Copies of this chain bind each other. A is one copy, B any other.
Amino acid sequence: MKTWREECGVFAIWNNPEASRLTYLGLYALQHRGQESAGIVSLNDGTHLHHKGQGLVADVFTETDLDRLKGFAAVGHNRYSTTGENLLTNAQPLTAQLKDGPVAVAHNGNIVNAGELRERLKKEGAIFQGSNDTECLLHLLARHNGVDFMAGLQASVKNLVGAFSFCILTHDKLIAIRDPYGFRPLVMGRIGNSVVFASETCAFDLIGATFVREIEPGEMFWIDKNGEHSVKYADKKISEHARCIFEYVYFSRPDSVVFNHSVYEVRKQMGRWLARETKVDADIVIPVPDSGVPASIGYAAESGIPLELGIIRNHYVGRTFIEPRSAIRSFGVKVKLNPQSAVLAGKRVVVIDDSIVRGTTSRKIIGLIRQAGAKEIHLRIAAPPTVGPCYYGVDTPTRGELIASHMSVPEIQKFVEADSLSYLSLEGLYHAVGESQGFCSACFDNKYPTPLFGAD
């Protein structure tokens, strides 16, 4: 069930006559990572052209907009909403005029020491347009005088603590940077003679590009008229990497390859491990659509209990919806999900979901399933309990709002009114991924890989 606010998607391309159109398509494929605003900056004869707007990619850009965004290179960004205030000021790619010329930055992640950096920079005379953490990078960059741009950029990035996968377009080069922990994904591909970067490989699939490799944690990769260059500006051991394990649980599209594993396959394995760990006697396995489907397939296959689509999702649900005035039981959930009694009546049902956030939605879903006639309802979550908020680029609820941060599993079971409730263990999750280290699972174990600068 969709309950998490998503993060961001970035895309960039170098050396293509359709740079802005392919960036549009890349953002389109990455729409699931951010639906509130979108923007593209193209590079045309050494100057930048840009267009940003609120809403879905398909709504923000018209044919005319894309025609105006001429040039052989472009960088684009999808973003989730911040508060209503300042929406467009914070929209990305962020752009600025520096002494070396125009710079455009698309950022996926969150810089945890941004507050400190802002205070320091303001004292030094910097003025901030928005409330965005990304703006710090531009100010740091502007302060490196008398050195080569790439040297200044490298020095600037070293000041940043936190999660960042950057695509940066200047007047003469395109740069991709991943933070030393590698929190967020960033991949490189090729299409003809063009180089492309994206948050996920599904963007490459749409435009027919070939996946080449990940940008490594701590790597700075750039392309200019002299070719392709790579620098490891920060080295960490694999065990110090902190790739976001939640990308597998919820964020990434199932058809992407993230951190070198197929998201769909990992999710199916999560279902299999969930079945191994939390087996129950039941008649059918049903997913909470759509995010619970791959894990359900794995659970059904492992447990031998047949898979059914016991809940049908309404795909015509729009962004706005007029509510009835009268109380219709669990109306908000019903608009999206319809449990069908033809499938559920009289059955012992295993319900597979990806996570429980506040517990209220899960309670409503359980209620609707029971109302549809299910005899027993066994809720199975294909991930461990989420106990900690994310400070690395995901707009999670506060710790206090996360039900698992202050309730035990039996308490949650009572709250959501399921007949039984089990979560996948953290070990099970690592088994499903097939690696045992190099991930951030702070949302499950409260082990934050970086200092938090008072954020919590």
Contacts and interface: CB of A to CB of B under 8 A. Distances in A.
Nearest to A51: B85
Interface string A82-109: 0011101100000111110001000000
A167 interface: no
A139 B123 contact: no
B129 A264 contact: no
B126 A142 contact: yes
Interface in A304-346: 306-309, 312, 314-316, 318-322, 324-326, 328-329, 334-335, 338, 340, 342-343
A448 to B, nearest CB: 27
Given A18-B325, A95-B129, A98-B122, A205 B338 contact: yes
Report the copy number of this chain in the oligomer: 4
Interface of A: 18, 21-22, 24-25, 28-29, 31-32, 35, 49-50, 56, 58-59, 61-63, 66, 68, 84-86, 88-89, 95-99, 103, 118-119, 122-129, 131, 138-139, 141-145, 202, 205-208, 253-255, 257, 262, 264-265, 290, 293-294, 297, 301, 306-309, 312, 314-316, 318-322, 324-326, 328-329, 334-335, 338, 340, 342-343
Given A309-B297, A338-B202, A123 B96 contact: no
Contact of A307 (B66, B264, B307): B307
Given A316-B31, A316-B32, A338-B206, A142 B129 contact: no
A105 to B, nearest CB: 11
Given A58-B319, A123-B145, A129-B129, 13 more contacts: A22-B324, A28-B335, A32-B316, A56-B316, A61-B322, A99-B122, A122-B142, A125-B143, A127-B139, A205-B334, A205-B338, A264-B343, A294-B309
A85 B63 CA distance: 16
A332 to B, nearest CB: 11
A68 to B, nearest CB: 7
A138 B127 contact: yes
A63 B80 CA distance: 25
Nearest to A21: B324
A37 to B, nearest CB: 12
Contacts of A318: 56, 58-59
Contacts of A89: 95
11 contacts: A21-B322, A24-B322, A50-B86, A58-B316, A97-B122, A125-B125, A126-B127, A202-B312, A202-B338, A253-B312, A265-B342
A394 B122 CA distance: 34
Interface centre among A142, A257, A306, A321 (most CB of B within 10 A): A142
Nearest to A330: B208
Nearest to A315: B315
Contact of A312 (B61, B264, B329): B264
Contact of A340 (B28, B124, B139, B262): B262
Contacts of A141: 127
Interface centre among A24, A88, A127 (most CB of B within 10 A): A127
